[in-house]
Structure 1
Amino acid sequence: MPSERTEVQVRPGVATDLGTLTDIYNHYVRETPITFDTAVFTPEERRPWLLSHPEDGPHRLMVAVDADSQRILGYATSSAFRPKPAYETSVEVTVYLAPGAGGRGVGTLLYSALFDALKGEDIHRAYAGIVQPNEASVRLHERFGFRYLGTYREAGRKFGRYWDVARYEKEL
């Protein structure tokens, strides 16, 4: 099976990635409760999101690319945790993988690159919310030292039902 693996490169996201990144995100909007957005986006509607993740600073966008085909396999971000100034040293992190890209270590590569990029930034804590159930995401976060904080019960309604969100934190 290792011969089937392709090399994956991780790099900062750029403007030309916007269409593919929007497609990946829209998959989760349409097909899963993983995001509580309920309507798909156009790339232009997602442009402010992309622009809020420059190549430096605490809010980053890292993209995983298949080295052979240059196909985007997923992305990870660190974003503002809350809008008030006292929260500036906290970020919320997330990973989204392209359909079919799971189980290849892409999420691990993305988080490794993201946390390496955040070294030296004035960031004290990273937080993550994981819609339940999602064992793969729980394993990924725990692998990176995230600690379970608690669960918001029935925090969001999507697809005609309520979903719990488990909250995790990591000291940086």
Structure 2
Amino acid sequence: MKIRVATPDDAGEILAIYRPFVEHSHTSFELVAPSLTEMQNRIRDTLPRLPWLVGVDPQGAVCGYVYASRHRERAAYQWAVDTTAYVREDMRRTGVGRNLYAALFEQLMALGYYQAFAGIALPNAASVRLHEAIGFESVGVYRKVGFKLGNWHDVGWWQKSLLQAQGEPQALREFNATLRNTAKLIVP
């Protein structure tokens, strides 16, 4: 699998992976799948500051994606991100998610981020298993915080330290300015 920076041109394949999670499960709390234009805009809006990576199979098709977003708006949170990963159904349990996250963590550390968080709508044993296997630790649960498909759902939160938090942090680097053009990653 090759891992590279996503482009707005990948939005159709990304949306094909994501849409079933929106329409048929509680995994995503979106109630309506975004349009192609909205997904293109999400990618375009993320990339100047944070990475959005895709895994590409040997045939050149997107088989999964991972990205980071702001954890919270207030300035003291700026060194923390939320992370999200989705894998094409036929590629689950093949290492795609794990490899995408490894590449994302490498990029986030180079940018100066210290903490990564993942919110998982529960129950979701596969996502919990993946996140714990790559070093996330459970830090709490928001009880009955989202209503979807006729039920209230909890959201569990997991945290992974990326850099050792000691002393005053350095200024964050922007993904576009420092790494975007060099993030042509190959994962065996």
Question: TM-score of the superposition, structure 1-length normalised?
Answer: 0.89
Please show how residues 35-74 of structure 1 align to structure 2 within 5 Å. Answer: 35-54=28-47, 57=49, 59-67=50-58, 69-74=59-64
- Matching residue of 2:22: 29
Q: 1:51 Cα shift?
A: 1.2
Q: 2:143 is matched by which residue type in structure 1?
A: R
Tell me how far apart the structure 2 counterparts of residues 165 and 64 of structure 1 sit (CA, whole Å). 26
**Partner secondary structure for residue 73 of structure 2:** coil
- Structure 2, unmatched stretches of 5+, are 163-188
Instruction: Give 2:112's aligned amino acid.
Output: D
- TM-score, normalised by the number of residues in structure 2: 0.82
Q: Quote the offset at 1:66 in angstroms.
A: 0.5
Q: Deviations over 1:102-154 (max 9, x none)?
A: 11111011001111112221211100011111111111111221111111111
Q: Which residue of 2 aligns with 1:106?
A: 96
Instruction: State the Cα distance separating 1:9 from its structure 2 match.
Output: 1.2
Sequence identity percentage: 33
In the alignment, structure 1 segments of 5+ residues that lack a partner are 1-7
Alignment-mate amino acid for residue 63 of structure 1: V
The 2-side partners of 1:10 and 1:16 are apart by: 15
Match of 1:161 in 2: 151
**In structure 2, distance between residues paired with 1:17 and 1:102:** 19
> What SS does the corresponding residue of 2:64 show, helix, strand or coil?
strand
Q: Which residue of 1 aligns with 2:70?
A: 80
**Paired residue for 2:160?**
170
1:12 partner amino acid:
V
Structure-1 residue corresponding to 2:129: 139
Distance 1:144 1:104 in 2: 14
SS in 2 for 1:64: strand
* Corresponding residue of 1:96: 86
Contact kept? 2:7, 2:44, Cα under 8 Å: no
Contact 2:116–2:161 (Cα < 8 Å) also in 1: yes
Q: Which amino acid aligns with 2:51?
A: R
Larger relative contact order (CA 8 Å, sep ≥ 6)? 2
1:77 counterpart letter in structure 2? Y
Count of residue correspondences: 162
Secondary structure of the residue that 1:27 maps to in structure 2? helix
What do residues 68-122 of structure 1 show as CA deviations (whole Å, max 9, x unaligned)?
x111111001111112222211100011111222111110110011111122212
Q: Which residue of 2 aligns with 1:127?
A: 117
